[in-house]
Structure 1
């Protein structure tokens, strides 16, 4: 059995309510390699926007998380909290991110 390493990062998050459908789009570095691939990317974006606007809107609560990594660089990402109102008294809350590092074979035991 190998060792495990745990790192804890702390930051804050802002809770926001979105009343629009969430657009899902995958963009890869290859989408920016050439003018043709960029044109295809623009077409994917337009299709995704069109599909999103055709969907029935329903409220979703999102947390925009801001932390600093071990080198002090800012890291931001969004967590979908679902369609129920989060039970926080403020829209700005503290966040603790716990990362556990381990070898794959540890999962098999």
Structure 2
């Protein structure tokens, strides 16, 4: 089973890019499939709103304001009953221009049924007109 303290940075290997153009029975649809990897781990759900932005590090005053904002957010989390844990999968793929894309998928409160914290991931994007 997975252990929450084993969450590390993911090394991505992109394997396959598929493009499908559909018009039969579908209105001008383009489907693209990306293959990558995901890292499964445990996070505190209430901490999602607590984050630093690049502009928070632009000056000492901006940093001090960010620290105050983080402190207030942490206090609200603990006042509302404390942090709630959930399992997520951090999915990483590389797009067609070489940029790494990372998304998080909430897997719920129960331990996922995977034997390893590293799993394969398929991401499908469908473009269509309404």
Distance (Å, rounded) in 2 between the aligned partners of 1:75 and 1:24: 19
| Structure 2 portions without partners, runs of 5+ | 1-25
Map Cα deviations across residues 47-67 of structure 1 (whole Å, 9 max, x no partner): 222212333333311111111
> CA RMSD of the aligned region, Å?
3.0
So what's the TM-score if we normalise by structure 1? Answer: 0.69
Does structure 2 conserve the Cα–Cα contact (< 8 Å) formed by 1:25 and 1:45? Answer: no
So what's the TM-score if we normalise by structure 2? Answer: 0.59
Q: Secondary structure at the match of 2:93?
A: strand
Greater RCO, 1 or 2 (C-alpha within 8 Å, sep 6+):
1
Distance (Å, rounded) in 1 between the aligned partners of 2:48 and 2:117: 25
Residue 87 in 1 paired to residue 116 in 2? no
Map Cα deviations across residues 50-91 of structure 1 (whole Å, 9 max, x no partner): 212333333311111111111121111221111011111111
Residue 22 to residue 75, structure 1, CA distance change in 2 (3 Å): same
Q: Which runs of 4+ in 1 moved over 6 A?
A: none
Distance (Å, rounded) in 1 between the aligned partners of 2:107 and 2:42: 10
Distance (Å, rounded) in 2 between the aligned partners of 1:53 and 1:79: 24
Distance (Å, rounded) in 1 between the aligned partners of 2:102 and 2:117: 17
Count matched residues: 99
Of the three residues 9, 17, 36, the one matched with 2:34 is 9
Give 1:98 deviation, angstroms: 0.5
| Structure 1 portions without partners, runs of 5+ | none
